[in-house]
């Protein structure tokens, strides 16, 4: 008959170190879980996308090292959680931000065209008012009152003269509704904590006195911001007066006539 042994018997106490399995938590697994949680900051700004990348990287390192450790490492669930969280946040932001930027570009396009239409209709109060945030923008539905204020205030009077003396403004006012405005391309879309900024190129075409179509390009910069504490009331404003510009891909072509003339001379 085999004698029952107590837990405190000499045989139990004399167990070798090999019989006692020592385990420890994987550091990469903890880092994977940490980066997995913080990866959702990417919804605030896409610059945090590197957290998702680090979460995925440390997850694979943890899973590989835990599998190779033959039971001496734990933390597989942390690694799996970090991997899933990082993949979800990275995938979501890959869809969210392009969709958001597309919506911002569409809003900016509608706003920019209001400016072109205003100058085409000789509506200077509206066109100039678009350079200010909407909550600071003077009412343009009563042009007589607006013009009266411009002439009564020396600063405003000088400001309107400076605006209308701008070469681009004068050209668009002269062309009126003969100018055909077409979207050319978006140069940049940036998103900050309090505003979105869009830079867009437009092609403006018109027929000259000889009946030939001529085209020039206009660079528009608009910002979408909101009054302090009222994020739901965001609105657009122009950043300065739009300018003439030659797209980079057309600069070489634009310089060809000058080169030919210099060669002939």
CA–chain centroid gap for 264, Å, is: 48
Around Cβ 39, how many Cβ atoms within 10 Å? 27
Topology of the domain covering 103-264: Nuclear Transport Factor 2; Chain: A, (3.10.450)
Using CA atoms, how far apart are residues 121 and 115, in angstroms rounded to an integer? 10
Supply the pLDDT for residue 21.
56
Sequence-distant (6+) residues with CB within 8 A of 37 are 85
Partners of 181 in the beta sheet? 204
Give me the residue spans of the domains in the chain.
18-99, 103-264
Distance between CA atoms of residues 23 and 70, nearest Å: 10
Residue 7 has a pLDDT of 46
Mapped onto helix, strand or coil, the DSSP state of residue 256 is: helix
Q: Is 54 left (phi over 0), alpha (psi -120 to 50) or beta?
A: alpha
Q: What is the pLDDT of residue 157?
A: 80
Which tokens sit at 207?
Answer: 């027929």
**What confidence score (pLDDT) does residue 139 get?**
67
Cβ atoms 26, 73 nearer than 8 A: yes
pLDDT of residue 49: 83
Res 44: pLDDT: 74
Q: How far apart are CA 125 and CA 146, in angstroms?
A: 7
State the 10-residue block means of pLDDT for the chain, 265 residues long.
Answer: 48 48 81 89 78 91 87 86 90 85 92 94 90 75 78 83 90 92 93 85 92 93 82 82 87 58 40
Could you tell me which residues are beta bridge partners of residue 223?
197, 237
What's the pLDDT at 151?
Answer: 80
């Amino acid at each position: 008959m085999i004698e029952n042994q107590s837990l405190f018997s000499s045989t139990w106490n004399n167990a070798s170190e090999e019989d006692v399995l020592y385990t420890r938590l994987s550091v990469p697994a903890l880092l994977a879980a940490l980066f997995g949680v913080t990866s959702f900051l990417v919804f605030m700004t896409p610059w945090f996308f590197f957290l998702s990348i680090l979460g995925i990287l440390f997850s694979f390192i943890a899973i590989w090292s835990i599998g190779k450790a033959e039971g001496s490492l734990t933390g597989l669930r942390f690694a799996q959680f970090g991997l899933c969280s990082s993949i979800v946040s990275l995938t979501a932001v890959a869809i969210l931000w392009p969709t958001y930027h597309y919506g911002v570009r569409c809003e900016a396009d509608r706003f920019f065209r209001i400016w072109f239409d205003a100058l085409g209709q000789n509506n200077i109060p509206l066109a100039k008012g678009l350079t200010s945030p909407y909550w600071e923008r003077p009412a343009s539905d009563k042009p007589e009152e607006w013009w009266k204020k411009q002439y009564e205030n020396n600063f405003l009077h000088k400001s309107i003269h400076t605006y209308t003396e701008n070469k681009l403004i004068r050209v668009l006012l002269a062309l009126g509704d003969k100018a055909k405005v077409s979207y050319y391309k978006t140069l940049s879309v940036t998103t900050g904590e309090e505003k979105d900024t869009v830079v867009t190129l437009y092609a403006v075409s018109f027929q000259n006195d000889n009946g030939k179509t001529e085209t020039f390009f206009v660079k528009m910069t608009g910002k979408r911001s909101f009054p302090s504490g009222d994020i739901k009331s965001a609105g657009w404003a122009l950043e300065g007066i739009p300018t003439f510009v030659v797209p980079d891909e057309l600069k070489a072509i634009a310089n060809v006539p000058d080169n030919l003339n210099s060669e002939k001379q």
